[in-house]
Amino acid sequence: MSDLNTALAEKYKNSFLNEVIDNVEEGDMVRMCMQCGVCAGSCPMGPYWEHTPQKIFMMIRANQREAVLNSDSMWMCTSCYNCITRCPRGLPITHIMHGLATYSKRLGLVPQNQPTAKFAQLMWNNLTKLGRVNELKLVMSLYFMNGFGEGIKTAMTNQDIGLGMLKSGRMAISEAWGGRSINDKSGFQAMLKKAEEIEMANIEANSK
For the chain (208 residues), the mean pLDDT of every run of 10, in chain order, is 86 93 94 94 88 94 95 92 94 96 93 89 91 87 86 86 83 80 92 91 84
Q: Tell me which amino acid residue 5 is.
A: N
Q: What is the pLDDT of residue 1?
A: 58
Give the closest residue to 150 by CA, choosing from 109, 179, 115: 115
Q: What is the pLDDT of residue 18?
A: 95
Contact 57, 33 (CB under 8 A): yes
Contact 16, 60 (CB under 8 A): yes
How many whole angstroms separate alpha carbon 207 and alpha carbon 188?
Answer: 29
List, in order of start, the domains of the chain with CATH numbers: 12-111 (1.10.1060.10), 115-195 (no CATH)
Q: What is the pTM assigned to this prediction? A: 0.83
Q: What is the pLDDT of residue 145?
A: 85
Distances in Å between the Cα of 175 and the Cα atoms of 100, 129, 139, 185 are 34, 13, 11, 17
Q: What is the pLDDT of residue 87?
A: 95
